[in-house]
Structures are given as structure tokens and as C-alpha cells.
Amino acid sequence: MGSLTGKVAWVTGAGSGIGQAAAVALAKEGATIVLTGRRSAPLKETAAMIKKAGGASEVKPGDLMKAAAVTKIAKEIEKKYGRCDILVNNAGLNILNRQWAKLTPADAELVIDGNLASAFYCTTAVLPMMRKHKDGVLIHTSSVAGKVPSLLSGPAYSAAKHGVVAMSHTINMEECVNGIRSCVVCPGEVATPILDKRPVPITPAERKRMAQSEDVGDLIRYVACLPPHIVINEVMINPTWNRGYVASLQRGKS
């Protein structure tokens, strides 16, 4: 048996990238996985990967930027399983025209809702279930841009991811007395589909040097498997070949 046997994990943004990798890793530890994202087809691909690995999962598509949709899925999870032990708040997005000179109110709303509001909705939906069991782990995918404001990621994305970091810490401040733990993961560059939205294209060679989805997925698995008396409040994970560091070194030599 895996260390998460008998646990129920809700993974958002589970159709690709970090969410998919985390879902598979948690399933291998024995957790039953509820897979959520906006499109059914990628979620079904993740479910097939989990089944091949011997795990169990269920596909529940939905638009997490809509509070009503989040509430509906959470109620279905509680009705079927009676619990949600792990929430992986991974859903997120970015846009191509992200600079202030190009940013529109509609695009700002999209990025903030997709990265911050959705995380709040899912968190508020699962906390009552976790309080009932005096146990629960919430793991939120933020970004290095959630620690250091980044023009590369754009102002809306940076602001939203800073909000995710703050949200996670306040959960620990209030819910520690209920046995609930919250961890915010701040990855640097990870070779996921969100890179396709970069204004400057990323080459295949550059992607190979970045952190991979499986690297972050395994970190999420590790955090979820920690004993109940321990919380990792915040963790950063970066590729060794850090393009920001390398660019600074090159500027220093010029």
C-alpha cells in the first residue's frame, strides 16, 4: 500500500503539465484522484495514465473561475467520498499580450480569475470537509513570479501568484489548530504548455534544460506524504541551468 491509500485528492489543472504529473504521482501513492480542468479530453488522458499505473481516478471537468462550478464539484466529492484529504490547486493560465502597454481589463480579469480567484474558490470549498476530519493538506502552485515581480511573466500573473503565496500562509495561520496544512510551491521555469504563451518563443533545447513537470509533481507528492505534525509552508524549485542567472553572468562579462 502507498502512504496515501484511502485518501482522496482533488487535483485542478490536471489535464497537462504539473497537474497531470502530480495526479499520477499521488495516485501511485494510493490516493483516489479527482481530476478537474476545463476540457474533458486531457483529463481523460490523465485518467488513462493513472489507470495504467494501477491507480484510481475520476474525471470532473469544470470552469474553476466560476464559484458555482467549484461548489458543485466539491459537493459531489463530499457526497461520493465523504472527504477531501488533499487539494492540489494547480489550475492557472497566462496570456500573450501581458505588458501594461497591451493589457486590457478583460485580459487582467482572465489572468487574475484563472490563477487567484479559482484557488480561493477551491480552498473555501474543501476546508469544511478537512475541518470535519481535523486533517488535510492544501498544495498550491504559485511561481517564482509570486515571490519576485516579473515583467517576463507579466504584471497580472505576478500579482495573482503573489496573492496565492499570501493565501497559503494565511491558511496555516488560521487552520493549524484544525490539523490543516498548506504549502505553496513556487517553481521557476518548467517545461509545460503554458510556455507556449510566452511572447518570445522557447526553443526545444531550452525546454530540456528547464525543470520538468514530473520534477514538480514528485515534490507535490512528497509534501502530500508528510506526517500530520509537519508542514512545509513554502518551497521554491528551479532548474540548475537558471536562464535568469545565466543572463546575469553574461551581462557581467560584457
Which pLDDT value is given to residue 1?
61
Active-site residue, selected from the candidate residues 81, 121, 157, 245: 157
Q: Is 157 a residue of the active site? A: yes
E strands, 134-188, are 136-141, 180-187
For 186, the grid coordinates are 513556487
Position 202 pLDDT exceeds 90: no
Position 49 pLDDT exceeds 70: yes
The tens digit of pLDDT for each residue in 85-123 reads 999 999 999 999 999 999 999 999 999 999 999 999 999
Percent of the chain with pLDDT over 70: 99
> Stretch 178-198: mean pLDDT, rounded?
91
Q: How far apart are CA 161 and CA 205, in angstroms?
A: 27
* Site of grid cell 513570479: 145
For 113, the grid coordinates are 480569475
Which pLDDT value is given to residue 157?
97
Residue ranges in 37-143 assigned as alpha helix (H):
40-52, 67-81, 105-112, 118-133
Task: Give the bridge partners for 219, in sequence order.
Answer: none
Task: Give the bridge partners for 86, in sequence order.
Answer: 9, 137
Which pLDDT value is given to residue 243?
87
CATH of span 8-253: 3.40.50.720
For Cα atoms 62, 68, 70, give the angle at the middle one, nearest 5 degrees: 45
What burial class does residue 197 get, using C-beta atoms within 10 Å of its C-beta: 0-12 exposed, 13-18 middle, 19+ buried? middle
Position 214 pLDDT exceeds 80: yes
> Stretch 186-212: mean pLDDT, rounded?
87
Position 2 pLDDT exceeds 80: no
> Stretch 46-67: mean pLDDT, rounded?
98
pTM for the full predicted model: 0.94
What burial class does residue 96 get, using C-beta atoms within 10 Å of its C-beta: 0-12 exposed, 13-18 middle, 19+ buried? exposed
Task: Report strand pairing: 86-89 vs 32-36.
Answer: unpaired
Categorize the per-residue pLDDT at 50 as very low, low, confident or very high, splitting at 50, 70 and 90: very high
